[in-house]
């Protein structure tokens, strides 16, 4: 999977939003498919216009577990957004996830401002769900 730092560098290099848009779609194509049995109502992200599923895995320290995520969408551009969100959060501790506001990072690279309102809301819903799951695990 492409790292968040690499994605930020690539966005900085790409001047034109159309090129960035194509890059997001390519990131989505590289995202592993989510198994059909994981595409459940419990894993569905509410607030997304497209169908989006996120699966959370935790490992290690009960007070501050490492969290990894799988995700998928039925829309090409949204699948790319899922890949970017996973690059930001997957493999980090719950405390690190609660401390990172990926929407701020996405704003700095111009990702949010170039999305439709529906896609921005969906992106926000994905980030909020991941951060809330991490917050619950830190508080437990």
Query: Is the C-alpha dihedral spanning 50, 43, 72, 135 positive or negative?
Result: positive
pTM: 0.93
Question: pLDDT tens, 112-139?
Answer: 888 888 888 889 999 999 999 999 988 7
Say yes or no: domain 4-139 is CATH 3.90.1010.10. Answer: yes
pLDDT of 38 over the 80 cut:
yes
Residues labelled catalytic: 48
pLDDT of 73 over the 80 cut:
yes
The pLDDT of 74-95, averaged and rounded, is 95
User: Which pLDDT score, from 0 to 100, does residue 140 have?
Assistant: 65
Query: Is the C-alpha dihedral spanning 90, 98, 10, 14 positive or negative?
Result: positive
User: Which pLDDT score, from 0 to 100, does residue 1 have?
Assistant: 74
Helix or strand run (H / E) with residue 18:
helix 17-30
d(CA 64, CA 26) in angstroms, rounded, equals 33
């Amino acid at each position: 999977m492409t790292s968040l730092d690499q994605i930020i560098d690539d966005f900085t290099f790409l001047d034109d939003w159309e090129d960035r848009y194509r890059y997001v779609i390519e990131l989505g194509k590289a995202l592993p498919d989510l198994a059909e049995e994981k595409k459940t109502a419990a894993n569905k992200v509410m607030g997304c216009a497209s169908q989006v599923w996120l699966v959370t895995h935790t490992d290690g320290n009960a007070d501050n577990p490492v969290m990894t995520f799988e995700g998928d969408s039925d829309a090409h551009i949204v699948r790319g957004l899922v890949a970017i969100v996973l690059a930001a959060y997957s493999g980090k501790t719950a405390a690190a996830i609660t401390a990172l506001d990926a929407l701020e990072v996405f704003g700095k690279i111009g990702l949010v401002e170039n999305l439709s309102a529906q896609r921005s809301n969906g992106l926000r819903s994905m980030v909020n769900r991941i951060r809330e799951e991490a917050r619950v695990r830190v508080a437990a």
